[in-house]
């Protein structure tokens, strides 16, 4: 495996790397809200121990209690790094997070799925400091939940809630004048890349430098003055071998480039950041999904990103690699990360191992003015965090009208979904955006379908021609593709959920899945052949099979929860790659 030059094992933000950092994952003091007073909590006097970043509901946390608790407290000791800004990063905490240092409130963040940061420097003193994190959560379907249950028990395809810190917590140490953000937009067909920079303190004597390498050789370098709130520069990439640039358009996966950014103030370097980018251009053109204007057929698998011992926190970096390896070995070229924003290390390995990712906003389940505000705000954080990853090949705003149940007929709800589509396009004008995945489409770049019949012949008959797909037919179970008042505009079509075959041979207790279950590997493979053959004959540009692994009571994975295949991997690959 060829890593990016800036790669550091277990570094939580692998596309924006500083050398001076400290991982805080490990044992912290912990308490449920009802166990301590606020005074005790702020002093770090908590009776339990927990292993961060695993939530208390999981085995790897050391607690393993699935009972819902509205408030949880965390505490650890911290030393100040003199002469630097001491920046705390929390990569994911559910849901409302408040950070305190030495009893003083530092800041608050709302949302479960995006990284947030606080500068702790002015709250820290010499010697030992007490860092306290409070997380408030609720079994409230109006919050941005994803697949987390909102009842005290699992139901259908909703699973145990994940409360509190669930991604890495870490410190980075940087100078006052530093790179704040860089947005990387490649133009592979032109052999160019655009950088958009922000720094902490723009000024005439502050500059940003960049040095780009391909296969260890410098292909571009330069410097731009940081004289405004945002600086933009478009860079031509040179190479001794023109095919490295020109041939990018015809490659199956984008070529990766290493880049180092520096910030200088009065000609003195104050910041160094390692990064990388891929020469990718995934878009929709002439009714096709394309990479660099070349049509690309999508063979996706829906991936919920859960592990039996750790919920939706990867148990290790190696576990991430293994999931991607298994996905590719089964013949899939992309995943639909369903109702979850993945650990950014997953995105890194998808980048370098060559796996596309549909990035999907986790759902809330009620529609209100508050849900509009919260969804829009949190979605913008997510897009900004994941924009630079070349593995992101599409954005999904809503799934199956969850949280927008009257989307089919209500203009106000349609305006909301379309507004989020356009907000996403304002951030990213090129990648495809799906407004509502599955049916009742308003504004969308790809028309997506969901159908879980277990009969391949029936599946094909339902969607054998484009007119049937667009028209819908409630009598035969074909969802209406377009919301009322909207017309199909020639978008490419993707069967973005199908299959979901339940395999009950080794299941215990509740075993939830779609349609009639199978009980043997032979029966399972026969069902898969029938469904995949039907999908490939349909007038679509790709499909997404449900799903990669079993999750708790849901037993329709190609793999069991522990990643044991239910049928030989090579047989699944043959089915995926077979021509029809």
pLDDT tens, position by position, 474-502: 556 678 999 999 999 999 999 999 999 98
Q: Which pLDDT belongs to residue 150?
A: 86
Q: In what order do the strands lie in the sheet with 179-187?
A: 179-187, 192-199, 231-236
Compute the average pLDDT of residues 355-364. Answer: 97
Average pLDDT over residues 249-272: 89
Residue pLDDT, tens place only, 115-171: 999 999 999 999 999 999 999 999 888 899 988 988 878 877 889 999 999 999 999
Q: What is d(CA 376, CA 482) in angstroms, rounded to the nearest whole number?
A: 23
Instruction: Kindly report the pTM of this predicted structure.
Output: 0.96
Give 73-126 pLDDT, tens digit per residue: 999 999 999 999 999 999 999 999 999 999 999 999 999 999 999 999 999 999
Q: Is residue 248 over pLDDT 50?
A: no
Report how far apart, in Å, the C-alpha atoms of 190 and of each of 164, 281, 376, 389 are. Answer: 45, 11, 33, 19
The C-alpha angle with vertex 284 and arms to 305 and 193, in degrees rounded to 5, equals: 85
d(CA 490, CA 495): 15
What residues does each domain of the chain span?
21-173, 179-278, 297-577
Q: What does the alpha-carbon distance between residue 401 and residue 437 come to, in Å, rounded to a whole number?
A: 8
Predicted pLDDT of residue 7 = 98
**Per-residue confidence at 270, pLDDT binned at 50, 70, 90?**
very high
Task: Label residue 243 by pLDDT band (50, 70, 90).
Answer: very low
The pLDDT, as a whole number, for residue 167 is: 98
Locate 228 and state its tokens: 């405004």
Long-range pairs of 512-520 with CB within 8 A, sequence gap ≥ 24 = 512/156, 512/157, 512/553, 512/554, 512/555, 512/556, 513/554, 513/555, 513/556, 514/452, 514/454, 514/546, 514/556, 515/452, 515/453, 515/454, 516/454, 517/555
Looking at residues 20-28, what average pLDDT do you find?
98
- Return the CATH class of domain 297-577: alpha beta
More confident residue, 190 or 71: 71
Q: Write down the pLDDT at residue 508.
A: 59
Residue 551: the pLDDT is 94
Tell whether the model's pLDDT for residue 372 goes beyond 60: yes
Please write the tens of the pLDDT for every residue from 540-559. 999 999 999 999 988 999 99
pLDDT of 475: 59
- pLDDT for 478: 75
Residue 366 has pLDDT above 70, yes or no: yes
pLDDT at 247 over 60: no
- Rounded to an integer, the average pLDDT of 279-291 is 94
Residues 6+ positions from 39 with CB-CB distance below 8 Å: none
Cis peptide before 313 (omega within 30 of 0): no
Q: How confident is the model at residue 249 (pLDDT cuts 50, 70, 90)?
A: very low
> What per-residue confidence (pLDDT) applies to 254?
86
* Percent residues over pLDDT 90 in the chain: 85
Band (pLDDT 50/70/90 cuts) for residue 246 is very low
Q: Give 478's strand partners.
A: 473
If one counts every other C-beta atom within 10 angstroms of the C-beta of residue 574, the result is 14
Which is it for strands 96-101 and 104-110: parallel, antiparallel or unpaired?
A: antiparallel
pLDDT band, very low/low/confident/very high, at 322 (cuts 50, 70, 90): very high
179-278 placed in CATH 2.130.10.10: no
pLDDT score for 281:
93
Q: How confident is the model at residue 241 (pLDDT cuts 50, 70, 90)?
A: very low
Q: Is the pLDDT of residue 430 over 80?
A: yes
pLDDT recorded at residue 228: 86
The Cα diameter of the chain in Å comes to 72
Q: How confident is the model at residue 506, as a pLDDT?
A: 56
Residue 6 has pLDDT above 70, yes or no: yes
Taking the C-alpha atoms of residue 479 and residue 450, their distance in angstroms, rounded to an integer, is 8
Quote the CA–CA distance of 66 and 151 in Å, as a whole number. 12
- The whole-number pLDDT of residue 474 equals 59
58: nearest Cα among 384, 419, 314, 374: 314
pLDDT higher than 60, residue 45: yes
What CATH homologous superfamily does 21-173 map to? Galactose-binding domain-like (2.60.120.260)
Name the band, by pLDDT with cuts 50, 70 and 90, for residue 234.
very high
82 vs 56, 122, 372, 411, CA distance in Å?
34, 11, 42, 56
Query: What number is the average pLDDT over the span 457-461?
Result: 95
Q: What's the average model confidence in pLDDT over 413-437?
A: 97
Map residue 475 onto helix, strand or coil. helix
Decide: 38 and 44 in contact? Cβ < 8 Å.
no
Give yes or no for residue 512 having a pLDDT over 80.
Answer: no
């Amino acid at each position: 495996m060829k890593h990016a030059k800036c790669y550091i094992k277990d570094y939580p933000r692998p596309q924006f790397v500083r050398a001076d950092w400290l991982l805080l994952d490990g044992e912290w003091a912990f308490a449920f809200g009802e166990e301590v007073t606020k005074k005790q909590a702020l002093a770090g006097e908590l009776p339990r121990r927990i292993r961060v970043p695993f939530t208390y509901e999981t085995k790897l946390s050391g607690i393993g209690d699935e009972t819902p608790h509205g408030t949880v407290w965390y505490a650890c000791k911290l030393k100040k790094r003199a002469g630097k800004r001491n920046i705390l990063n929390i990569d994911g905490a559910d849901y409302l997070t408040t950070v305190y240092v030495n009893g003083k409130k530092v800041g608050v963040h709302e949302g479960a799925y995006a990284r947030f940061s606080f500068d702790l420097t002015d709250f820290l003193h010499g010697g030992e400091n007490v860092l306290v994190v409070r997380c408030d959560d609720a079994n409230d379907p109006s919050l941005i939940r994803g697949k987390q249950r909102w009842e005290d028990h699992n139901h259908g395809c909703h699973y145990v809630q994940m409360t509190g810190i669930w991604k890495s917590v870490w410190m980075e140490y940087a100078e006052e004048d530093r790179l704040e953000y860089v947005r990387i937009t490649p133009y592979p067909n032109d052999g160019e890349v655009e950088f958009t920079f922000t720094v902490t303190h723009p000024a005439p004597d502050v500059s940003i430098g960049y040095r780009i390498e391909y296969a260890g050789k410098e292909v571009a370098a330069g410097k731009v003055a940081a004289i405004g709130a945002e600086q933009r520069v478009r860079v031509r990439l040179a190479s001794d071998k023109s095919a490295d640039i020109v041939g990018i358009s015809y490659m199956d996966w984008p070529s990766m480039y290493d880049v180092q950014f520096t910030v200088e103030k009065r000609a003195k370097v104050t910041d160094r950041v390692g990064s990388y980018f891929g020469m990718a251009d995934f878009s929709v053109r002439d009714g096709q999904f394309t990479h660099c204007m070349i049509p690309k057929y999508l063979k996706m698998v829906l991936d919920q990103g859960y592990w039996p011992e750790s919920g939706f926190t990867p148990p290790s970096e190696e576990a991430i690699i293994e999931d991607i390896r298994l996905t590719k070995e089964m013949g899939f070229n992309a995943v639909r990360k369903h109702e979850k924003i993945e650990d950014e290390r997953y995105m890194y390995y998808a980048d370098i191992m060559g796996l596309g990712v549909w990035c999907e906003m986790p759902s809330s389940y009620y529609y209100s003015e508050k849900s509009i505000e919260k969804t829009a705000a949190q979605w913008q954080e997510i897009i900004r965090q994941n924009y630079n990853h070349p593995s992101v090949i599409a954005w999904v705003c809503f799934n199956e009208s969850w949280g927008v149940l009257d989307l089919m007929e209500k203009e106000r709800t349609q305006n909301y979904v379309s507004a989020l589509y356009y907000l996403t396009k304002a951030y990213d004008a090129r990648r495809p955006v799906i407004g509502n995945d599955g049916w009742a489409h308003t504004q969308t770049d790809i028309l997506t379908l969901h159908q879980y019949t277990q009969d391949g012949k029936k599946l094909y008959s339902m969607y054998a021609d484009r007119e049937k797909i667009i028209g819908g037919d409630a009598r035969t179970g074909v969802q209406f593709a377009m919301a009322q008042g909207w017309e199909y505009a020639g978008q490419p079509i993707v069967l973005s959920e199908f299959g979901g075959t339940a395999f009950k041979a080794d299941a215990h207790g509740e075993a939830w899945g779609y349609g009639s279950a199978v009980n043997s590997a032979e029966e399972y493979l026969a069902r898969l052949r029938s469904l995949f053959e039907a999908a490939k004959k349909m007038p679509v540009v790709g499909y997404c099979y449900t799903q990669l692994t079993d999750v708790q009571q849901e037993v329709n994975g190609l793999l069991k929860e522990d990643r044991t295949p239910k049928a030989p991997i090579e047989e699944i690959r043959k089915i995926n790659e077979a021509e029809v």
